[in-house]
Structure 1
């Protein structure tokens, strides 16, 4: 049998007979993309300084809220509201059209309400099985494009594009173009995955499983939006089984490797801490660079990610720390969440006591797979 390029890269054999499918045939709707992410933070001044250093632009700022965007036309990418502690609130997704928006409201028994924020529009407010607020929006005003950071012209072998000119990328913030994806940890992986497939019509691009426990099913999924023949990011949402639950990181596209590297140097020069990078992932293929904001939340610059249409089948691969990147420095304990801490211990104890998908054998296998080498 001839293998596809996707199977050759991500999996030796794809799904085995009887394994979990990566899509459903008749979801309630099919969301088109992430719209924005919502956070709370106690210090909006500090949050805005980091956002600008990271490459986001302010849309609107009040004493109680901050709206941020990238350079591409569209809606704002982040909403940060003033709160007593730094925390992730939830994501908002774009409905594909007015018909999908109304159907979602009917099928979930949820009354659409006006959005009282820049751009207006309407929202259907739901909660996923983890209790995370998930908002599906429609009719939000589109912001015009901002000046972008153009990719550098590169000389490749016998096909040079730059003659009698030098390369001098500025050490400046890497201008974020758009919000790319969100990664969540959950104690109820299968239940949560079912919800995003059934309710929002997402497709699994890749499953990761524990090499010693493949028969127990995957523990991580990279989900993309189903846009039919139109390509979508390899993953708009990723989720994995773990004891802590909640936000892991969010990712923002920049123009190219030089923008990422020079922008990373700018962040380092201003005292911000890199979590892991620079490298190139396997699932998704994107160039990556991970940073911590002043409240220790993790954010990613990425570029050159995979785009799949709805025809590409779900790949399967074993999970491991060494399998996270094609090249780059080894995954750090910071990125892997492997730093021992009282909070992690409390989360493990709580997860083992609850009725969920966490078990001692799963935890041991996960920790063994994700040990940095």
Structure 2
């Protein structure tokens, strides 16, 4: 029996027209929590461990970060926009992702989280100060929620180029000669995580931190089983925010996929990519323009093979937009650009991948043969 699409709340939007096959079907996931504990304002920073901070600092320079502070056991990286350091690298025995920190809009949000979760509000030991509640999502990732942390002043920006387009003649008697230099990072944009506990993790972020779904992706022929990827943004009411601050997708693996950092424009991104190539670093995928989020992207691997992204010109949504729905496929990731690489998709065969798939099939999670086959097909479509 054909299900009748649910009537959208309010008028149709360009987002729904562009991205939705039928809009949200009646009874399917609404993409927002009913009564979230708090509404997180933004990502504050990401934390990683690195065995070699000198090597990490060299890549950070080439990628376009500025150093906010350094101690014998930690490196604090920042962008040009005012705010706290957006990446914290701690000395450790291996290269690994430790977890994200989200910024609370109000000090009282930390008290509400503490009452709802039984976790204490405590002082941050970092030099920037502030207060924090330490949580863990259903996938096992440590999640910090912070308030009152260090607010660094702005740094000089990498100016955008003045462009002539069509009949628009903004630049006359002048030439374009941008230097080949690192693409100066402006800010942390988003984080992507994979988990076999996708639905539980999704609902936790909606119900605990008040995030909203901008787009759902589903497996071909399995829409009735619900989404397998979600792009989530913060809820700041009528204030437009990034299309996604966090993205989650169903996978046999649990872990970090990539993090993304905004740069000024396409030319900064492209020239910065040439600089990275000249320094011997390896591109994972790019340059192209995404579908969900619309941003121009360029993905790179750091010396420890963690993936990071330069992006520019991303979509901004306010809270009233409803989720889009689209099939999940490798070719559907970009409007233009080279085909998605196996390195980016994480489908390169390896003994470790086989072990993770077998373990996921044995454990109590959302991975079963049907889901696994659908994910494999999506990576080849």
TM-score (norm. length: structure 1): 0.98
Specify the SS of the correspondent of 2:221.
helix
Deviation at 1:308, TM superposition (A): 0.3
| Superposed CA offset, 1:10-64 (max 9, x none) | 1122111111110012100000000000000100000000011000010111111
Alignment of 1:358-369 (within 5 A): 358-369=367-378
Inter-partner Cα distance in structure 2 for 1:46 and 1:25: 45
Q: Secondary structure at the match of 2:370?
A: helix
Q: Does 1:297 align with 2:298?
A: no
1:80 to 86, 89, 95: 89
Quote the residue 1:24 is aligned against: 33
Name which of 277, 301, 306 aligns with 1:268.
Answer: 277
1:345 has 2:346 as partner: no
Structure 2 match to 1:234: 243
What's the CA shift string for 1:84-122, capped at 9, x where partnerless?
Answer: 000000000000111212211222111111111131101
Q: Determine the C-alpha separation between the residues in 2 that align with 1:27 and 1:113.
A: 22
Q: Secondary structure, in 3 states, of the residue corresponding to 1:331?
A: coil
User: For residues 261-296 of structure 1, what are the alpha-carbon distances to aligned partners after superposition, in whole Å with 9 as ceiling and x for unaligned?
Assistant: 000000000000000000000000000000000000
- The 5 A counterparts of 1:154-233 are 154-233=163-242
Q: 1:104 aligns with which of 109, 113, 117?
A: 113
SS at match of 2:111: helix
* 1:251 maps onto 2:255 in alignment: no
CA distance in 2, matches of 1:336, 1:5: 29
Aligned residue for 1:151?
160
Match of 1:134 in 2: 143
Give SS of 2:222's match.
Answer: helix
Q: Is the 8 A contact 2:13 2:321 kept in 1?
A: no
Query: Which deviates further from its counterpart, 171-180 or 102-111?
Result: 102-111
Answer yes or no: is 1:313 the counterpart of 2:318: no
Aligned counterparts of 2:194 and 2:36: Cα–Cα separation in 1 = 23
Which is further off, 300-309 or 114-123?
114-123
Q: 2:14 aligns with which of 5, 8, 18?
A: 5
Residue aligning to 2:102: 93
Superposed displacement of residue 313, structure 1: 0.5
CA RMSD of aligned residues (A): 1.0
Deviation at 1:3, TM superposition (A): 3.8
Aligned residues: 372
Name the SS of the counterpart of 2:67 in structure 1: strand
Q: Deviations over 1:239-281 (max 9, x none)?
A: 0000111100000000000000000000000000000000000
- Residue by residue over 1:154-213, the C-alpha shift from the partner in whole angstroms, topping out at 9 and shown as x without a partner, is 011222111110000110000000000000000101111111011000000000000111
Which residue of 1 is the match for residue 3 of structure 2? none
Question: 5+ residue gaps in structure 2?
Answer: 1-6
